Amino acid sequence: MATTGIESWAVDLKDIGAIYPFQGAEGLFVLAGVVLWLGWHFIQIRAENEEYDGIISRHGDDASINEALEGE
Amino acid sequence: MEGNLNALTTVFTEFYYWATIPLMFFIHIGFCMYEVGASRRRNHLHTLMKNTMLIPLVTITFFFFGWWLYWAMPNGPFITGGLDTAAAEANTAWSETMGPNTGDRITGVFWAAFLLFSWTAASIVSGSVIERIKSGAFWVLAVVIGSVAWIIDAAWGWHYGGWMVQLLGYHDAYASGVIHAIAGGFALGVLVVLGPRLGKFAKDGSPRDITPHNPWLVCLGLFMIYAGFWGFYVACNVPIIDPGGIGGQITGDTWTATTIYLTPTTLGAITVNFLMSLSGGLLVGYLASKGNPFWTYSGGLAGIITASAGNDLYHPIHAMIIGGLGTYCAYKLHYWVEQKFKIDDAVGAVAVHGYAGFIGLVICGFVLWGHPSSPYEGFATINPLGQFVGAIIMFFVLGFVPGWIVAKILAAMNLLRIPRQVELLGLDFASNREEQAAAADVRATEKAAV
């Protein structure tokens, strides 16, 4: 049994519809995609905030900022 | 596909929309070039990533729910009918027609053409907020404009059965409003909450010019957007359809290209009008800005955007004059709003897209007054009031208001704006330090090898 449901191309194409694998599980695929999407935002936002916190703790003093601006 | 003619029409339509997509990619490349060119050296990489990463985020969300909104919402809902779940069913993310399917050759390419418009809407906003917005905040906003707000406006006013077309006679063939006015309005809503870049305004309130670090990149980026705009225009048409396929009031059996409203036009017409409105914008942009390259190129863009609502029907001279008029107004409005309301729109996107798009819709109502907005019986004809109300809906209701609300929520959660110290140090500060340290290390190693 093929994952696509197509065992042979000895068919009339007008009788064939979807040709991707695991038909019938589209809802699960979409659910997985939505979870990945929302998870990506959470991970990214946390990482971005940590990045800024790290920069400020190491280089956020007035001397470092003045040095950086002079180098611009 | 029954019969050779039907097969040929379907395969041609499939290829036609496919060809618009790589062309529209140039719009995004152009936006990236122009945004990076306009930013200062200390912010380049984050600026580039901010715009680039809207591509996957808007793409997947447009797949999850954006496309469904377009097909479900033409009636409002509850203005001319309920949710059109029957039409939307084949366009849900879990529909069999959204994947490889020998029985449907059009949904995929049509989806992708609309998606590239979604990127454009989000990318317009991206440029105006550079150098102080958190990337994560922008990406949330990009999903809101790219996969929700603009596609609702498309369902309402850029669909052959949209309620705005039916009741208002709304006409916006090449998206003056449905892409440009909404994106400009959305950007303005975000900018009001976000605030200007540090140092943009002097203590007495006068604006300072934060000049692009690379005018070449900015201008080439805008030039690249012109190139991609060809794909945008072509993608707005239905390439070939017979009156029987439209099923409206058109008689006879003459096949035609149509707008998204299924009203007849020709590729020849929009090609000439694109070039004439571009020319009107460039000519006026040059004069108004006294030859400033950034505003001259932006003027070309504003010219096309202003004339786009009616470029399926305008005489080429109309297109040129309307393009020039919109450009002049957008240029003047940009500086007036900047001075009066202290709005720091880093690339002039609100003016070039928002004001020009709004003005273009209103002008279209006068110039095309009385022309049928649809091939179907019972639809309002194009008129100034309908276009003005449409412009308000695009710029304010679906643009400014959602942008302002979502930005307010993000600001309340302290997610909108980067910390003051990071803005001064530069978004790329950490990576620039690493790069300098690596270069120093290599130099030291090389000296040791002498």
Using CB atoms within 10 Å of the CB of residue B304, give its burial: 0 to 12 exposed, 13 to 18 middle, 19+ buried: buried
Q: What is the reported pLDDT for B1?
A: 52
Would you place residue B2 in the very low, low, confident or very high pLDDT band (cuts 50, 70, 90)? low
User: For B299-316, what is the mean pLDDT?
Assistant: 98
Structure-block tokens of residue B249: 């009031």
Q: What is the reported pLDDT for B145?
A: 98
Q: How much is the ipTM here?
A: 0.95
Q: Which residues of B touch A45 (CB under 8 A)?
A: 134, 136, 415
Structure-block tokens of residue B88: 């939307």
pLDDT at A51 over 90: yes
Decide if B1 touches A, using CB distance below 8 A. yes
Q: Residue B95 and residue A26: Cβ atoms within 8 Å? A: yes
Q: What is the reported pLDDT for B365?
A: 98
End-to-end CA distance of chain A: 64
In B159-308, beta strands by DSSP E: 238-241, 256-258, 264-265
Smallest CA–CA separation between B363 and chain A, in Å? 41
Would you place residue B388 in the very low, low, confident or very high pLDDT band (cuts 50, 70, 90)? very high
Q: What is the reported pLDDT for B431?
A: 85
Question: Residues 376-435, chain B: which have Cβ within 8 Å of A?
Answer: 415, 418-419, 421-422, 424-426, 429-430
Structure-block tokens of residue B347: 């690339």
Q: Residue A41 and residue B61: Cβ atoms within 8 Å? A: no
Chain A residue closest in CA terms to B41: A72
Bridge partners (DSSP) listed for residue B101: A18
Q: At what angle do helices B356-367 and B182-194 cross, to 10 degrees?
A: 150
Peptide bond into B77 cis (omega under 30): yes
Q: Residue B96 and residue A17: Cβ atoms within 8 Å? A: yes
User: Helices (DSSP H) in A1-61: which residue ranges?
Assistant: 26-59
Would you place residue B220 in the very low, low, confident or very high pLDDT band (cuts 50, 70, 90)? very high
Best of A42, A48, A53 to substitute, by most chain B Cβ atoms within 10 angstroms, is A48
Decide if A24 touches B, using CB distance below 8 A. no
Q: Indicate left, alpha or beta for B262 from its phi (over 0: left) and psi (-120 to 50: alpha).
A: left
Q: What is the reported pLDDT for B292?
A: 95
Q: Which of A27, A41, A51 sits opposite B430 (nearest CB)?
A: A51
Decide if B94 touches A, using CB distance below 8 A. yes
Bridge partners (DSSP) listed for residue B381: B372
Radius of gyration of chain B (CA): 23
User: For B62-79, what is the mean pLDDT?
Assistant: 97
Cβ neighbors of B402 (< 8 A, separation 6 or more) are B144, B145, B148, B149, B186, B189
Chain A residue closest in CA terms to B429: A55
Q: Which residues of B touch A41 (CB under 8 A)?
A: 136, 139-140
Q: What is the reported pLDDT for A29?
A: 97
Residue B312's closest CA among B384, B252, B236, B365? B236
Alpha-carbon distance of B46 to A54, in angstroms, equals 16
Q: Which of A16, A30, A59 sits opposite B64 (nearest CB)?
A: A30
Using CB atoms within 10 Å of the CB of residue B323, give its burial: 0 to 12 exposed, 13 to 18 middle, 19+ buried: buried
Cβ neighbors of B40 (< 8 A, separation 6 or more) are A72, B131, B210, B213, B426
Q: Residue A33 and residue B93: Cβ atoms within 8 Å? A: yes
* SS3 category, A18: strand
Decide if B40 touches A, using CB distance below 8 A. yes
Q: Which residues of A touch B96 (CB under 8 A)?
A: 17-18, 23, 26
Residue B129's closest CA among B215, B61, B31? B31
Q: What is the reported pLDDT for B448?
A: 93
Best of B52, B59, B62, B421 to substitute, by most chain A Cβ atoms within 10 angstroms, is B421
The proportion of chain B whose per-residue pLDDT surpasses 90, expressed as a percent, equals 95
Smallest CA–CA separation between A55 and chain B, in Å? 7
* SS3 category, B239: strand
Q: Residue A72 and residue B426: Cβ atoms within 8 Å? A: yes
Cβ neighbors of B322 (< 8 A, separation 6 or more) are B277, B280, B306, B307, B310, B314, B360, B363, B367
User: Whole-prediction pTM value?
Assistant: 0.96
Q: Which residues of A touch B57 (CB under 8 A)?
A: 37, 40
Q: What is the reported pLDDT for B221?
A: 97
* Chains A & B: contacts with CB separation below 8 Å: 88
CB atoms within 10 A of CB B41: 12
pLDDT at B3 over 80: no
How confident is the prediction for chain B on average, in pLDDT? 96
Q: What is the reported pLDDT for B256?
A: 94
CB atoms within 10 A of CB B89: 13
Q: At what angle do helices B44-52 and B135-144 cross, to 10 degrees?
A: 30
Would you place residue B437 in the very low, low, confident or very high pLDDT band (cuts 50, 70, 90)? confident
